[in-house]
Structure 1
Amino acid sequence: MNVKAYAVSKAEGEFEPFEFELGEIDATQVDIDVESCGICHSDLSMVDNEWRMTRFPLVPGHEVVGRVKAVGDHVSHLKVGDRVGLGWHSGYCMVCDQCMSGNHNLCGKAQPTIAGRHGGFADTVRAEAASVVKIPDGLDAAEAGPLMCGGIAMFNPMFQSNLKPTDSVAVVGIGGLGHLGLKFAKAWGCHVTAFTSESKVQEALDMGAHDTVNSRDPSAIKKAAGRFDLVLSTVNVPLDWNAILATLKPHGSLQLPGAVTQPLDVNVLPHMMFKNLSVGSSPVGPPVVIRKMLDFAARHNIAPVTEHFPMSKVNDAFERLRSGKARFRIVLDRD
């Protein structure tokens, strides 16, 4: 099968039309006729080879929504014509302890959709069927793409921490990830606080925050001491992590869906030890939690705030992302 796509041939390069061949489909795989694909900051990191794991030419795109166009002989839970989503992972070993325990996202041999293979900036993308999930009828498929990575990145730590409706949640950074965190936590029934700049206060309140803390004012952060059961930090830059830890209640947790690449400056004393606090991070989520997240989003009418570009204008879309002006997720639609 000939696939038409958009690829970059070098770090920080421009996208150009690119074609490649897919061989015969394996028994456990599906081919997806791509309708749209969100752009995640991880795509930008891969394009720029920030993580030193990119292989060129690179076809990014791991927030895919489309229709199943072909299924392998052993695939039983999907059929041709189903509308489906594909996220960061396109396959798992399916035999390790993590896979057998339902923690596929922690599989040591999990295959990223855009590392060593071609992703969704294309007319077709292939993946192992286990990593592909149906899009619920209650979701607007045109807006669902960013949920497949950005959405699950925020939902999974809430789900894994056994978050209760009586809990208080803070979201640090109200951007492409953070605005989804506000929406999920509000629908969960929690009291939600946004750590954001003064310019985004009204936006944060409109998207579900009950109140805000000025993230650029150390005194405001200090006044929030002991308020939260869970803090979700979406930023990828160093913060005063000890000040953030001080805002947690006993047994509280700081989770880092944002990919911070620098070491954390965290003191065990006084807060972590005396309040039994934890700091953690996790890669997206397993298929079962992705399905639960999509059902939750459909039930509560949760959708990302998006801007749309035709896929042929992918360079314009990436320029918008690099500028920091995107509000809040960008989606490429097949021309």
Structure 2
Amino acid sequence: MTSPFRNQGQAKSCSNWNAQVYGISSHSLRAVLGWGAYNPIIGHEGVGTVAKLGQNVSNTSIGQRVGLKWLYNACTECNTCKCGFKHYCPNQQNTSRHVPGTLQQYALADANFITPIPNGLSSEIAAPLLCAGLTMSGALSHLETSLAPGDWVVISGSGGGLGHVGVQMAARLNKYRVIAIDSGEEKKEISLSSGAEVFIDFKTENVAKRVAEITGEGAHATIVVPGTKEAFEMAPAVVRNLGIIVNVGLPRNDIEIPISATICAARGSSVGTEEQMAELLQYALQGVITPAIEVFEFSEVPRLIQALIDDGIKGRAVVTIPYDT
């Protein structure tokens, strides 16, 4: 079952519907740089209005505002899906990877995998949460059974599109004490304003030493957002014994990082569940979680991609896509 949408917003990339807002992210960067197999039309999250319904579609209506996400659809038949983990389905299809992305005026979506956008929440704010927010929600869910409020969590890449939203969620929702890792005054400002207790500049400071000084014996967990070899290699040095490492960043396919199993318990995280998505949008509607965004015209996309390559984007860039009324 598919439905065309009018695209109104996106945070990292785009899908297939009638468009207005889109976001720039690491998947967009991987696609442009040829780090993986992606559809020529990039963009894997966006907000739009339903323009037309496919056959047998009954869970949405014309004109409804909805979001498209990285998870385009899942098989719903495998054991993973039946256990409630459709976002880990081995047979899943992804927006901008297996099907055209959202950086276009119209996109096709599987009606069973769209997300209603709450009234009162702007498309520009909702768009980044469909990927950046949901990704960090999924990452933080790996800590829920092991950590308690007041525990230390290191978030690397804290000033970027995913990182600063993750800092907000970790500090405001989970009540963790967050140590933010990034570089530069702008990234420091957004990290601290998002709720980080401490900021460490990895270019000018010894990160492992500073974390040990602050926490006593290392953080209880770290979430690795950047897709760099250096970020992954740093992770074991900032957590205590039995600390948790959650890997989020997507490096080049040829990067391999040996990590001793005796140093840490490593877990990976790609994205969150639909229930987490709905909950996150409600937090955004309440103003508890608010991605830092800057809105750009569609013509600015090439410059924004270069800014991604140069690590020159603070928070999340959101692109508006013109459409014919």
SS in 2 for 1:252: strand
Q: 1:311 aligns with which of 295, 298, 316?
A: 298
Normalised by the size of structure 2, how large is the TM-score? 0.84
State the distance in 2 between where 1:319 and 1:289 align: 32
State the distance in 2 between where 1:198 and 1:325 align: 10
Amino acid at match of 1:239: E
User: Is it true that 1:193 corresponds to 2:175 in the alignment?
Assistant: no
Checking the alignment, whether the CA contact within 8 Å between 2:172 and 2:288 is kept in structure 1 is no
State the distance in 1 between where 2:179 and 2:84 align: 31
* Count of residues paired in the alignment: 299
Q: 2:227 aligns with which of 216, 223, 236?
A: 236
Alpha-carbon offset, residue 171 of structure 1? 0.6
Q: 2:261 aligns with which of 256, 259, 268?
A: 268
Checking the alignment, whether the CA contact within 8 Å between 2:207 and 2:238 is kept in structure 1 is no
Amino acid at match of 1:30: S
Q: 1:170 aligns with which of 133, 154, 173?
A: 154
User: Is it true that 1:39 corresponds to 2:24 in the alignment?
Assistant: yes
Residue in structure 1 matched with residue 193 of structure 2 by the alignment: 206
Residue in structure 1 matched with residue 95 of structure 2 by the alignment: 113
SS in 2 for 1:70: coil
Alpha-carbon offset, residue 107 of structure 1? 0.8
Percentage identity across paired residues of the two chains = 26
SS in 1 for 2:296: strand
User: Is it true that 1:100 corresponds to 2:82 in the alignment?
Assistant: yes
Structure 2 unaligned spans of 5+: 9-20
Distance 1:142 1:220, change over 3 A: closer
Normalised by the size of structure 1, how large is the TM-score? 0.81
Q: 1:60 aligns with which of 42, 45, 53?
A: 42
Alpha-carbon offset, residue 103 of structure 1? 0.9
Alpha-carbon offset, residue 106 of structure 1? 0.9
Alpha-carbon offset, residue 33 of structure 1? 0.7
Task: Please report the RMSD computed on the Cα atoms of aligned residues, expressed in angstroms.
Answer: 2.2
Structure 1 unaligned spans of 5+: 1-27
Higher relative CO (Cα under 8 Å, sequence separation at least 6) belongs to 2
Larger Rg: 1
State the distance in 2 between where 1:145 and 1:172 align: 22
Q: How does 1:1-335 map to 2 (within 5 A)?
A: 28-35=1-8, 36-51=21-36, 53-55=37-39, 58-162=40-144, 164-173=148-157, 174-188=159-173, 189-197=175-183, 199=185, 200-216=187-203, 219-225=206-212, 226-239=217-230, 241=232, 244-261=235-252, 262-269=255-262, 272=263, 277-335=264-322
Amino acid at match of 2:140: M
Amino acid at match of 2:155: V
